[in-house]
Amino acid sequence: MAQDPQSSQTPAHWQQTDRLATMGILTAGVAHELNNPIGYILSNLTSFQIYLPVFQQYFSLLQQIADCEDAMARQELRQQLNQLQQQENLQLLLDDTQSLLADSVQGALRVRDLVLDLRRFSHPDHAEFQLLEFKPLLDMALRLTRNDLKTHVTVSQDTGPEPLWLQGQPAALTQLLVNLLLNASQAIGTGAGKLRISTARLDNWLQVCIEDSGPGIADDILPHIFTPFFTTKAPGKGTGLGLSICQAIVQKHQGDISVSRSALGGAAFTLRFPLSNAPQ
């Protein structure tokens, strides 16, 4: 009797399969997100290329004035300098250059963060658990899924000012959050929708709730959503591993995951993890 190839795979293989499938979705979105900062960085650098010869001419005239010993020649150079200042409005160019550089730095930082986020997500964790603050993981997941959410989903957060710490593996926890955010986006569909994310300390537990305004999950489907390879999507549109991987990651972190009806009308996924003490 032939063995089902799926049955010979371990949860670690499933998690990697799901990660690779999610990477395909995220890469397209991240590439789109990179276009905007790269576009205005190139535009800013093009403008600076136009300004630079003017600045070079200005400083060249200043140097010639400083080196010139002939009074008449020095006066002529000063007239050229004044004429250049009037023609080019050097102060305006200087102010604009400062703005161009500041915007370009911000754009480059955004590109760097997106690339780092994608790199961290794509590399599975083999290290031991480490002490992590939850909010930066959530921020990273939101950056990675920004393109899938921003066009039609209004995202609200109620995470509070208190840092919440847990022992965990960063890439696995990010994969968990990315899967849930993408599921919420897909549930909402292409129309306008809402996504609400909240975190809270409940005794010694971190509770995270991700709620969407989609159609919700039918009662006959609900018992099967964490079953590996179960999917309601059309063939080729999903691996059927996303939510089973989410459950496995949560359980690996000694937590639990449940789903209920959202106050927004869709589904609400609630995660709970044991809290750890903040670093001293």
pTM, entire model: 0.67
Whether 24 is in a domain gets the answer no
Q: Which amino acid is at 251?
A: Q
Nearest to 176 by CA among 103, 257, 231, 93: 257
Q: Which residues have CB under 8 Å from 245's CB, separation 6+?
A: 14, 15, 18, 175, 176, 179
pLDDT in tens, the chain (280 residues): 444 444 445 555 655 666 666 666 677 677 777 888 888 899 999 999 999 999 999 899 889 998 888 888 888 898 998 888 888 888 888 889 988 998 898 888 888 877 877 776 766 655 678 999 999 999 989 988 888 787 788 999 999 888 999 999 888 898 899 989 988 988 888 888 999 999 999 999 999 999 999 888 887 787 777 776 556 555 445 555 668 888 888 999 999 999 988 888 899 999 999 999 988 7
Whether 2 is in a domain gets the answer no
Q: Are residues 53 and 76 in the same domain?
A: yes
Q: Are residues 268 and 153 in the same domain?
A: yes
pLDDT of residue 236: 47
- The residues with which 272 forms a beta bridge, in sequence order, are 207, 256
Q: Are residues 140 and 184 in the same domain?
A: yes
Distance between CA 20 and CA 234 in Å, rounded? 19
Whether 15 is in a domain gets the answer no
Name the one residue in this structure whose structure tokens are 């927004």: 264
Q: Are residues 233 and 197 in the same domain?
A: yes
Whether 200 is in a domain gets the answer yes
The residue segments making up the domain with residue 229 are 129-274
Contact 221, 232 (CB under 8 A): yes
| Helices 134-144 and 90-122, packing angle to 10 deg | 100
Whether 174 is in a domain gets the answer yes
184-14-140 Cα angle (round to 5): 45
Q: Is 53 exposed, middle or buried (0-12, 13-18, 19+ CB in 10 A)?
A: exposed
pLDDT of residue 6: 47
Whether 86 is in a domain gets the answer yes
Q: Are residues 48 and 134 in the same domain?
A: no
Which of 93, 117, 141 delimits the end of a domain?
Answer: 117
Distance between CA 139 and CA 124 in Å, rounded? 19
Which of 80, 97, 117 delimits the end of a domain?
Answer: 117
Residue 174: which CATH number? 3.30.565.10
Which of 84, 117, 150 delimits the end of a domain?
Answer: 117
Number of domains into which the chain is organized: 2
Can you say how many angstroms the Cα of residue 163 is from the centroid of all Cα atoms in its chain? 20
